[in-house]
Amino acid sequence: MTTTSHFHHLLKKCTNLKQLNQIHAHLTTTGLLHLDVRLLGRLLSSAATSDNLHYTSLLFSQLHHPNIFFYNTMIKAHSKTATSLNSISIYAQLLRAGILPDIYTFPLLLKACTQVPEAFPQGCSVHGQAIKFALDSYIYVNNALIHFYSINGHIKDARKLFDTSKDLDVVSWNSMLSAYARIGDMATAKKLFDEMPERNSISWSALISGYVQCGLSKEALGIFLRMQVELVKFSDITLVSVLSACAHLGAHEQGKWVHGYLKSNEIEVSVFLGTSLIDMYAKCGEVDLALDVFNGMKERNLLVWSTMIKGLAMHGRGNEALDLFFHMEKAGIVPDDIAFIGVLCACTHAGLIDQGRQIFDSMSSVYGIVPKVEHYGCMVDLLARNGMLNEARIIIETMPMQPDALIWGALMAGCRFYQNVELGEFVVKNLIQLEPENGGVYVLLSNIYAASGRLEDARKARELMETTGATKIAGCSSIEIRGKLHEFIVGDKSHPQIREILVKWEEIERFLSLEGYVCNKTEVLLDIDEEDKEHALAKHSEKLAIAFGLLSSSDGVAIRIVKNLRVCSDCHHVTKLISRIYNREIVVRDRTRFHHFKDGKCSCNDYW
């Protein structure tokens, strides 16, 4: 008797196939397996959790009269795999054997159906079966149904089940909450969160990840803070979302805090956490710390590698990114379409035209990946950035899909850099067709005309913008000081220290003019992503942020700024000068990449 319970214990802990086989052999030779059927059940259950479907099926086939528990275990074993719909046929088998399904059967079947995106009809028929056996209102089944409908985007069906259910627990609320979060309805998600009779850490995580996915990273960090104040325990899953929020915001100190927390609690850096940490450090301007995390990781999947590659590319360290890519290939990891965006981006910033071409070709010839519009975009960027404007234009005209605004924008950046007004005008005309509501495009057109002396056309373009009601995204720069984010929007004077900031800016301007700086208002072309030149150039949001950064941080500390648009050339020039005058490193993340300003120079070599 004690020996059987000993084996029960052993099996419960065992997930390793080899050990399972050993125990199995032992039980068979000693005849224990036949004495105690429950041991066989335990064995089957452990086999199912060890994810070895073949072995599990073998065990199952040895059972003469499997009961509902054995069938459920088999359904569970299948539900986790790519062929999860096999569990439906096990269900059919069960019915044929004259066995009644129970409340555990349906959640398992529904899980199998959510595994396969196109299995919505099968899931519906499982629902029908649950109704037929009058098990649909059991809380486990009901919760699984809510989850199933919400995953498939049928949120109304999920809500109906939720509203009519007599029996709701935290799990039901969490399912509904994450359903709204998933479709981006954060107002309803927050409402549910507030109304919940009981919350657990999963409720908090669901809310946080919802905010992050909607781009409301500040709210996400706010909720995380509240979570800590209310002493709710958080898991590494929560932290993955939190790190993602830090990455979006460039919340360097808060991100570092999370890393410190992981270290001091000796939490192992999983692939998920590692990816988030690498991305966070890269997007906060600390590529070298990202590299440290990368090098310290035991296990690396494609996402880990491509996040690191993209991180290096963002910082203009194209050669290292490329090395890493070849390393990855050697490690036997097969790149996907997203990984290629990272490497192509790296080629662009390192000016590696031939390498870029080769890699682009290898995409389809070696890996069988059909290039998407983003990949053509990288090629246009690569060529345009290196002066081959015509070739870039030919790519746009011959690629197999419709060009989007981003791809024209890449060509535009080249036109601006190489002062090609004629091609620029052509590009802008295409952009207006594509995005008539984007005010930036009209500003751009107007500037092009102004630059070529066609002042009347320039005025008309401005008027057109006003009559069509197109609006331009306001420039916004943020800076984190002692863990708090400060935002500066162009023309906005609501910051409590705005007076001091403006005084500081005056000081900066005095130093600038001593350096012989004159405000560059004659820039020929204005990039679509740049802030509107009509607003006083001196008030561009990053200038305020830099002034504030100089005011609020001590010497030797790098100033880190995140900007929502591209840096304009005047701000770029000014920032270079400031970095020398004040002997300060300034790191600016703009829409597309990083600029590390140091000693009057920028890491982008003045091309962005």
Partner DNA sequence: ATAGGGTTAG
Q: CB of 519 within 8 A of CB of 537? A: yes
Q: DSSP assignment of 11-69, as one string? A: HHH---HHHHHHHHHHHHHHTHHHH-HHHHHHHHHHHHHTT-HHHHHHHHHT-SS--HH
Q: Which of 140, 367, 511, 607 binds DNA (CB under 7 A)?
A: 140
Q: Which 315-334 positions form the footprint of DNA (CB under 7 A)?
A: none
In angstroms, what is the minimal distance from the CB of 310 to DNA? 6
Q: How far is the CB of 73 from DNA (least distance, A)?
A: 7
- Asked whether the CA dihedral 402, 405, 411, 412 is positive or negative, the reply is positive
**201 touches DNA (CB under 7 A):** yes
User: Are 578 and 509 a contacting pair, CB within 8 Å?
Assistant: no
CB of 212 to DNA, least distance (A): 7
Give every strand in the sheet of 559-563, ordered side by side.
484-489, 476-481, 559-563, 586-589, 594-598, 601-602
Label residue 231 left, alpha or beta by phi (over 0 means left) and psi (-120 to 50 means alpha): left
Q: Does 172 bind DNA (CB under 7 A)?
A: yes
Nearer of residues 308 and 450 to DNA, judged by Cβ: 308
Among the listed residues 20, 171, 223, 262, the single contact to DNA using CB under 7 A = 171
Helices 170-183, 201-213: axis angle to 10 degrees equals 0
Which span sits near DNA by CB under 7 A: 108-116, 260-268, 322-330, 511-519? 108-116
Q: How far is CA 501 from CA 7, 253, 494, 495, 544, in A?
A: 72, 22, 12, 9, 7
Binding mask 495-534 for DNA (x = CB under 7 A): ----------------------------------------
With a CB cutoff of 8 Å and minimum separation 6, the contacts of 38 are: 8
x/- binding map, residues 340-379, to DNA, per CB under 7 A? -x------------------------------x-x-----
| Three-state DSSP class for residue 596 | strand
With binding defined as CB under 7 A, does residue 284 bind DNA?
no
Q: Counting contacts by CB under 7 A, is residue 69 touching DNA?
A: yes
Out of 24, 78, 127, 147, the only residue in the binding site for DNA (CB under 7 A) is 147
Rounded Cα distance between 286 and 13, Å, is: 42
Q: Is residue 299 within the footprint of DNA (CB under 7 A)? A: no
Least Å from the CB of residue 364 to DNA: 15
Look at residues 315, 267, 264 and name the one whose alpha carbon lies nearest to residue 291.
315
Residues whose CB falls within 8 Å of the CB of residue 252, separated by 6 or more in sequence, listed in order: 246, 284, 285, 286, 480, 560
Burial of 155 (0-12, 13-18, 19+ CB in 10 A): buried
Q: Check residue 161 for interaction with DNA (CB under 7 A).
A: no
Question: Does residue 99 interact with DNA by CB under 7 A?
Answer: no
Using CB under 7 A as the binding rule, whether residue 480 contacts DNA is answered as no
Packed helices 337-350 and 318-330: angle between N→C axes, nearest 10 degrees? 140
393-422: contacts with DNA (CB under 7 A):
none
Q: How far is the CB of 226 from DNA (least distance, A)?
A: 16
Q: Which residue in the set 17, 19, 157, 169 belongs to the binding site for DNA (CB under 7 A)?
A: 169
Residue 152 neighbours by CB distance under 10 Å: 17
Nearer residue to DNA within complex by CB, 591 or 598? 591
Nearer to DNA, 188 or 553 (CB): 188
CA 485 to each of CA 246, 250, 256, 418, 560: distance values in angstroms, whole numbers, following the listed order: 11, 9, 14, 37, 11
Closer of 279 and 530 to DNA (Cβ): 279
Residue 291 CA to residue 296 CA, distance in Å, equals: 8
Q: Does 50 bind DNA (CB under 7 A)?
A: no
Residue 184's region, left for phi above 0, alpha for psi from -120 to 50, else beta, is: left
Residue among 373 and 421 whose Cβ is closer to DNA: 373
Please tell me the count of residues contacting DNA according to CB under 7 A. 66
Q: How far is the CB of 112 from DNA (least distance, A)?
A: 9
Identify which of residues 275 and 447 has a Cβ nearer to DNA in the complex.
275
50, 56, 122, 307: which one contacts DNA (CB under 7 A)?
A: 307
Rounded CA-CA distance 258/272 in Å is 14
User: Of 56, 57, 72, 478, which lies in the binding site for DNA, with binding defined by CB under 7 A?
Assistant: 72
| Nearer of residues 273 and 604 to DNA, judged by Cβ | 273
* 207-246 footprint of DNA as x/- string (CB under 7 A): --x--xx--------------------xx-xx-xx--x--
Q: What are φ and ψ of residue 165, in 5° steps?
A: -75, 135
| 338 makes contact with DNA (CB under 7 A) | yes
By beta-carbon proximity to DNA, the closer residue of 85 and 458 is 85
Secondary element (H or E) of residue 221: helix 217-229
The C-alpha R_g of the chain, in whole angstroms, comes to 30
Q: Give the nearest distance from C-beta 325 to DNA in angstroms.
A: 13
Site for DNA, rule CB under 7 A: 8, 12, 38, 41-42, 45, 67-70, 72-73, 76, 79, 102, 104, 107-108, 111, 114, 139-140, 143-144, 147, 169-172, 174-175, 178, 200-203, 205-206, 209, 212-213, 234-235, 237-238, 240-241, 244, 271-272, 275-276, 279, 283, 302-303, 306-307, 310, 336-339, 341, 372, 374
